[in-house]
Amino acid sequence: MSFTRLAVMVLAFVLGGCGSGAVHFMREGVPAGSVPRVEQQIGLQKSWRKDIGAGYTNNSFLLIPYVGAGQVYAAEPKGGVVALDIKTGKLLWRRDIGETLAAGVGVGGATVVVVTREGEVFGLGAADGLVLWRQKIGSEVLARPVVSGDRVLLRSGDGQVIGLSLSSGEVVWRVRRAVPTLSVRGLSAPLIVEGVAVVGFASGRLSGIDPETGRELWNVPISRPSGSNEIDRLVDIDTDPYRIGDLLFVAAYQSRITALSLQTQRIQWQAALSTVQSLGSAGQLLLVTADDGSVAGITVGTGKVEWTLDKIRGRGVTAPLGLGDSTKAVVGDYEGYLYLIDTASGELLGYKKGRGGAVMGIFAVDGDGNFLTLSENGALTAWSVRG
């Protein structure tokens, strides 16, 4: 970590305060309003809850669960990796790595991939959690591993994209990019689009990389630095690229949401919203949680902002998740509340308070609107919409 990055982190802590009056790490910094009064039109039903292990004291090393083939693979910061039955939450296996984890969970074929804070990558058997291989890469990984064919793709804090062999863990290639002196801590995970790994960089540029060889296929500027100081010039692409049809959506810090044609790699439109949260969608509406915690619905084809939900602004709002084929979406906040949103109008439909502190993330289970939440205390909870 550079001195500049460290100084910015320390400054943020000092400004946030300390002791009982400290600002929660999920908060955006703007004043948080009270939980809004909502007429409960629909509700949420908890299906199961499972404590995975250690909880979170920051959101720098969030471990993202992976859902597939009737199972959920999850990890906790102190090194535990688990497989659960997606319908019941029943524990199928658990493996303790014995080291603090920084990134996960990636799954491909019969292998589960996690990365330690020291930059060691572990490949575990998906059926039993046994260690298949381990590989030190010499860099800090800050985004979840992504598997494409026989490649594990990793993003490191020093500007690298690294391709490992899924079968052996061997480092096959490295792509290196310069990192600005000052950048937002965190990285976007690659998105595989028709055999190409789409990667966003701290420079504000987006690249298409061949996962097999590491060869760069194309490179597009999304955001250009501007301003008189290093903070004003931050344009990191820290949200995962998001695809809807033939359009690719990219968000940059202190910049804009950009819609890019996948066929031509040309910008179709840009909307003036800054976010470091993952994007979501409901039908032909792109869903965005802005830096201040407000949620916006943007028409996919034109970039027009159809509505903005300000009632939960400042409440440490998560990335939005569209629920199946419905006109509903869900977000969470720093006190554990879940809010259902009508994506046709941007109005709240209902809310429910979960256990375990802040909602760290919300993840789709299927196309029927069922989803998982990851809580501050390290618990996974499965939910369904009722009413």
Give 265-321 pLDDT, tens digit per residue: 899 999 998 888 899 999 999 999 998 999 999 999 999 999 999 999 999 999 999
pLDDT at site 19: 41
Quickly state the pLDDT bin for 27 (edges 50, 70, 90): confident
- Residue with the bigger pLDDT between 90 and 41: it is 90
Catalogue all structural domains in the chain, each as residue range(s) with its CATH number.
Answer: 30-59+278-387 (2.130.10.10), 61-184 (2.40.128.630), 195-275 (2.40.10.480)
Per-residue pLDDT, 11: 42
Residue 17 has pLDDT above 80, yes or no: no
Q: What is the pLDDT of residue 202?
A: 76
- pTM here is 0.88
Q: What is the chain's mean pLDDT, rounded? A: 87
- What is the distance between the alpha carbons of residues 252 and 229, in angstroms, rounded to a whole number? 17
pLDDT of 186 over the 80 cut: no
Q: What percent of the chain has pLDDT over 90?
A: 70
With cut-offs at 50, 70 and 90, classify the pLDDT of residue 255: low
Q: To which residue do tokens 């419905």 refer?
A: 326
- The confidence score (pLDDT) of residue 13 equals 41
Residue type, 48: W
C-alpha span between 266 and 264 (Å, rounded): 5
Q: Which pLDDT score, from 0 to 100, does residue 54 have?
A: 93
Report the pLDDT value the prediction gives residue 223, as an integer from 0 to 100.
64
Residue at 96: amino acid letter: D
pLDDT > 70: what percent of the chain?
A: 87
* 138-165 confidence digits (pLDDT tens): 999 989 999 999 999 999 988 899 999 9
